[in-house]
Chains A and B, each alone.
Chain A
Amino acid sequence: MNFTVALGAARAKSRPGAGPGLLSRLVSKLGASGWRPWLAPLAALLVWEIGAHLPGVDARFLPSLEAVAVRGWRGFVHDDLFHHVLASLGRDLAGFVLGACAGVSAGLVLGFSPLAQRALGPTLMTYRQISLFAWIPLVSMWFGGNEAGKIAFIAMAAFQPTLVNSWRGVAEVPKSYRELSNVLLFGRLGFVWLIALPCALPQIFTGLHSALICAWAGTVGAELLFNIAPGIGGQMNEGQQLFQMDRLLLCILLLGGVGLLFNLLARAAERRLLRWRTL
C-alpha cells in the first residue's frame, strides 16, 4: 500500500514544471495530455475563419465557420445527420472487426510458423505494395457496390496494418526470452502465452490503432466511391451535387472529430492494457 503512495509521490516529483499557481498547474495538466497537437488544427480553423471574412471571398466557395456550425446544428437537431454518422460508424466497426481479426490471426500464424512465413511472406509483402484503392473495382465486382462491398473494402483497410504489426511483433521476440523459455521448460504453449503474445502485444496494439484509423479512412472512401447510401460519405456526395460547401466542410469536420475520438480511445485502451510498460 505505502509502496503505491511512494510511487505516486515519486511520479509527482518527476513531473517537470509543476508550479504552485493555478495557471501553471493548468498549463502542466494540458502539457501532460498534450496541448501541442491542438495548435495546428486551431490555427487552421482561425485561418479559415479569417479567410472566409476577407472581402472578395465568395461565401458559396468558402463558407464561414459559423455558417458551418449552423448547418451542423440544423443537421443534428432538425435533420437526420445523427443517423448518417451512426450508419458510417456501424459500417466502420463491422469492417474493422472483420479485418482486424483476420489480420491479427494471419499475422500471428506468420510470426509463429516459419513454414507459413516462407510460404506466404513474399506474397503478403507484394500485397502491401498494392494501393488499397486498386482493389475497388475488384471488390465491387465480387461483393457488389452496396453494404457487403463497402464492409469488405473497410476490412481490407484494417487488415493490412494489423497483419504487418502482429507478424513483426511475434517474429521480433528477443532471443534472450526464447532462451529463458527453454531454461524454464515452458514448452511451445507456455512460450506463446507467457512470452511471445505479451511481448508482441504493444506492437499488435500499434497495428490495431492504425487499423482503426485506416478503417475510418476506408469507410469514407467506400461511401464516396461505392453506391450512395446513408452515411457521412453519402452526405458529402449529396452536398457536392447540391453545391453545399458548408455541408461538405461540416462532413470533413465530423470525419476529423470521429478520427480524433478513435485516437483518444485507442490510446486510453493501450495505456490501460499495457500498464506494465508505462509504470
Chain B
Amino acid sequence: MTAPARETAAHALDISHVSKRFLVSGRKMLALSGVDLHVDEGEFVSIVGASGCGKSTLLRLILGLDTDYEGEVRIDGVRVKTPGLDRAIVFQDHRLLPWLNVRSNIAVALRHSPLGKAEKAERVDAQMRLVGLERFSDAYPAQLSGGMAQRVAIARALVNRPRFLLLDEPLGALDALTRLRLQNELLRIVRQEGATAILVTHDVDEAVYLGDRVVVMRPDPGRVATVLSVSGPQTHDRSSPGFIGLRDQVLALLGVAYNGAELSLAREADAREAAPA
C-alpha cells in the first residue's frame, strides 16, 4: 500500500468528509456537510443535535442504505456499499413487523445467519430474556407498549451479535424509570458483546452517561460542531461535578444556556465555526 499514512487506517469506522444532499421540492438541500468522525473498535459514541441536523441520515449512510453521497464511509478501510450483518440498527420508530409475534420479529434477523435451527431458537430466547420479554414471546406488536416494542427492536438488532450497533433514539419513547434501567442494560449489553455502539439521542444526560465520546451536531447544514471526550470514572455518576460540567457544556453547545458563561461558550463555538468560512 502506497497510500499516504492515514491516521484513519487504525479506526474501525471512518466517516470522512461526508456530505449528503437531498432533493426537496426541486431544490438541493444539504443534509450533511463535511462530516468527519472516526470510531474505534468497542467505543460508545453518542450523537446529539437539534432535530433535522442529519443524525438519522448519517446512520443510514453507515448502514449502506444510501450510497449516493460525497465523501467516504469505511469499515476497516473498506468502503461501505451495502448493508451487512456486521451492522445492526434500532430505528427511531421501532419498525417491528405487526404481523409477526415477538419471537418471529427477533428471529427474522437470523434469516441469513449460518447458525443451525436449534442454535437460532436458543439465540432468540436469550435475546428475549436479555430485554425481559420472555413472557411475551407470542404477543404481537399491537399488544406491546411503546417501551416493550422498543426493547424487542433492541433484541432484534442484537441477535446477530453485530460488530456495530446503531441506535437511533432507542429509548426516546420510554418513561424515565424504564429509560434509566435500559440505559444501564444497554451499557452492559454493549460491553458484554464487545460491540461498537453509535447512539443518537436527544437526551443530553443519556449521551454523557453512555458515551465514551459525545458528538454534538448542528443543523443547516448538518455538521459536527464538537466532539467531547467523556473520560474518568466520575462520568458514570450522574451527580458528580464532572458529569454535570460535561452535561452543561453539551447543553451550551446545543444552544441551551443557563448563564452568561455557558452562553459565551456557545458563542465561542459559533465563532470558531464561522472563522474558516
* Chain B contacts with A in 126-143, Cβ cutoff 8 A: 135-136, 139-143
- Asked if B142 contacts A276 (CB within 8 A), the reply is yes
Q: B97 — which chain A residues lie within 8 A by C-beta?
A: 177, 180, 194-195, 198
Do A185 and B85 touch (CB < 8 A)? yes
Shortest CB-to-CB span from B233 to chain A, Å, is 36
Complex Cα distance, B104 from A194, in Å, reads 10
CB pair A277–B95 under 8 Å, yes or no, is: no
**Which residues of the other chain, A, contact B98 by a CB distance below 8 angstroms?**
276-277
A179 to B139, CA, bound (A): 24
Which residues of A have CB within 8 Å of B139? 3
Taken together as a complex, chains A and B put the C-alpha atoms of A276 and B144 apart, in Å, by 12
| B52 at the binding interface (Cβ < 8 Å) | no
Contacts of B140 in A (CB 8 A): 275-276, 279
In this complex, how many residues of chain B approach chain A with their Cβ under 8 Å: the count is 27
Report the separation of the CA atoms of residues A54 and B58 in the bound assembly, to the nearest whole angstrom: 78
Q: Which residue of A lies closest to B63 (CB)?
A: A183
* Contact indicator per residue, chain B 172-210, by CB within 8 Å of chain A (1) or not (0): 000000000000000000000000000000000000000
Q: Is the interface of A mostly helix, strand, loop or mixed?
A: helix
Docked-complex contact A183 and B111, CB < 8 angstroms: no
Q: Are B143 and A279 in contact (CB under 8 A)?
A: yes
Within 8 A of B (CB), among A158-191: 176-177, 179-180, 182-186, 190
A253 close to chain B: CB less than 8 A: no
Please judge, given known A-B contacts A176-B91, A185-B112, A276-B98, whether A3 and B136 are in contact too, CB under 8 Å. yes
When distances are taken between beta carbons in the complex, the residues of chain B under 8 Å from A3 are 135-136, 139
A275 to B97 alpha-carbon distance, docked (Å)? 13
Chain A residues lying within 8 Å of B245, measured Cβ to Cβ, are none
**B77 CB–A CB distance under 8 Å:** no
Q: Is there an interface contact between B83 and A185, defined as CB atoms closer than 8 Å? A: yes
Q: Would you call A7 an interface residue if the criterion is a C-beta within 8 Å of the partner chain's C-beta atoms?
A: yes
In the complex, which residues of chain B have a beta carbon less than 8 angstroms from the beta carbon of A279? 140, 142-143
**A199 contacts which chain B residues (CB < 8 A)?**
99
How distant is B24 from chain A, measured CB to nearest CB, in Å?
Answer: 16
Beyond A276-B99, A277-B98, A279-B142, is A184–B93 a contact (Cβ under 8 Å)?
no
Report B119 CB to chain A, min CB distance, Å. 18
B241: CB under 8 A from chain A? Answer: no
Whose C-beta in chain B lies nearest to the C-beta of A202?
B99
Nearest CB on B from A241, distance (A): 53
A1-58 residues at the B interface, CB under 8 angstroms: 3, 7
Q: Are B89 and A183 in contact (CB under 8 A)?
A: yes
A184 partner, pick from B108, B135, B136, B142, beta carbons under 8 A: B108
The CA of A257 and the CA of B60, in the complex, are separated in Å by: 55
Partner of B65, one of A179, A194, A198, A276: A179
Cα distance A186–B63 when bound, in Å? 15
B251 at the interface (CB under 8 A from A): no
Pick the residue among B85, B87, B95, B136 that contacts A177 (CB under 8 A).
B95
- A201 partner residues in chain B, CB cutoff 8 A: 99
Nearest opposing residue in chain B for A279, CB measure: B142
Interfacial chain A residues near B100, Cβ < 8 Å: 194, 198, 276
In the assembly, what is the distance between CA of A275 and CA of B100, in Å? 11
How far, in Å, is B53 (CB) from chain A's closest CB? 20
Instruction: Give the chain A neighbours of B111 by CB distance below 8 A.
Output: 184-186, 190
**Is the beta-carbon distance between A176 and B142 smaller than 8 angstroms?**
no
CB of A185 within 8 A of CB of B143, answer no
Q: Digit string of A121-159 for contact with B (CB within 8 Å is 1, else 0)?
A: 000000000000000000000000000000000000000
CB neighbours of B112 from chain A (8 A):
185
Q: What 0/1 pattern do residues 186 to 215 of A give for CB contact below 8 A with B?
A: 100010001100110100000000000000
Which residues of chain B have C-beta atoms less than 8 A from A177's C-beta?
95, 97
B88 within 8 A of A: yes
A-B contacts, 28 listed (Cβ < 8 Å): A7-B143, A176-B91, A176-B93, A177-B95, A179-B60, A180-B91, A180-B95, A182-B65, A183-B63, A183-B65, A183-B83, A183-B89, A185-B84, A185-B85, A185-B111, A186-B111, A190-B111, A194-B100, A198-B97, A198-B100, A201-B99, A275-B140, A276-B98, A276-B100, A276-B140, A276-B141, A277-B142, A279-B143
Contact surface of A with B, Cβ cutoff 8 Å: 3, 7, 176-177, 179-180, 182-186, 190, 194-195, 198-199, 201, 275-277, 279
B contacts, CB < 8 Å to A:
60, 63, 65, 83-85, 87-89, 91, 93, 95, 97-100, 108-109, 111-112, 135-136, 139-143
Sample of 19 further A-B pairs with CB below 8 A, known A7-B143, A277-B98, A279-B142? A3-B135, A176-B91, A177-B95, A180-B97, A182-B83, A183-B63, A183-B65, A183-B87, A184-B111, A185-B84, A185-B111, A194-B97, A194-B100, A275-B140, A276-B98, A276-B99, A276-B140, A276-B142, A279-B140
